[in-house]
Structures are given as structure tokens and as C-alpha cells.
Amino acid sequence: MITAMQMMLNDLISKREVYENASMHQSVATIETSIELAEYLLKKEKEQFLDFLEWIEVADIKYPFNNWKIIEQYYKEPIKTQTP
């Protein structure tokens, strides 16, 4: 499973490679800034989701399906992104 934020980050990493190969140095710098922001936001996304899971447990809400533990495990794993 890959989140929308991870999809965006992977796309930015791919674009960075294209710009590097085309010697578009100013664009590479811009993409680098965007990648840093996307990595930060991915960490925030993970924190928010884990907070949500904690809230569900505290509120003793019975989930309609049993995938929550799988999702929780996914978010507890280290963030994985493509590396150039």
C-alpha cells in the first residue's frame, strides 16, 4: 500500500533525476525543496494516522473491518521512499 503523499514524493524524486540529467540546476534546487517538504509532510501524515488509531482505541470504537492492525503496522514501519 502506498499513500498519496508517498506517491507525490516518489514523483518528485523521479522529476529530480530528469532535471539533473538535463542539467536544469535551478529546477533541481526547487525540486529538492519540494522533496524536503514532502518528506516532512509524510512524517506528519504518519503521526496523524497513528494519533487517529490511538483515539479509536481510547474511544473503544469497534471498527467495521479488521484491516486497522495491518494499516497500523504499515504506518509504524520506517518511511520508505525511492532513492536515486
Number of domains in the chain: 1
Q: Is 47 inside any structural domain?
A: yes
pLDDT score for 19: 93
Per-residue pLDDT tens digits for 56-77: 776 666 655 556 666 666 666 6
Whether pLDDT at 81 is above 80: no
Q: What is the DSSP string of 26-79?
A: HHHHHHHHHHHHHHHHHHHHHHHHHHHHHHHHHTTPPPSSS-HHHHHHHHHSPP
Per-residue pLDDT tens digits for 12-45: 999 999 999 999 999 999 999 999 999 999 889 8
Q: Is 82 inside any structural domain?
A: no
Q: Is 81 inside any structural domain?
A: no
Whether pLDDT at 3 is above 60: yes
| Residue-range definition of the domain harbouring residue 47 | 4-76
Q: Is 61 inside any structural domain?
A: yes
Q: Is 22 inside any structural domain?
A: yes
pLDDT score for 74: 67
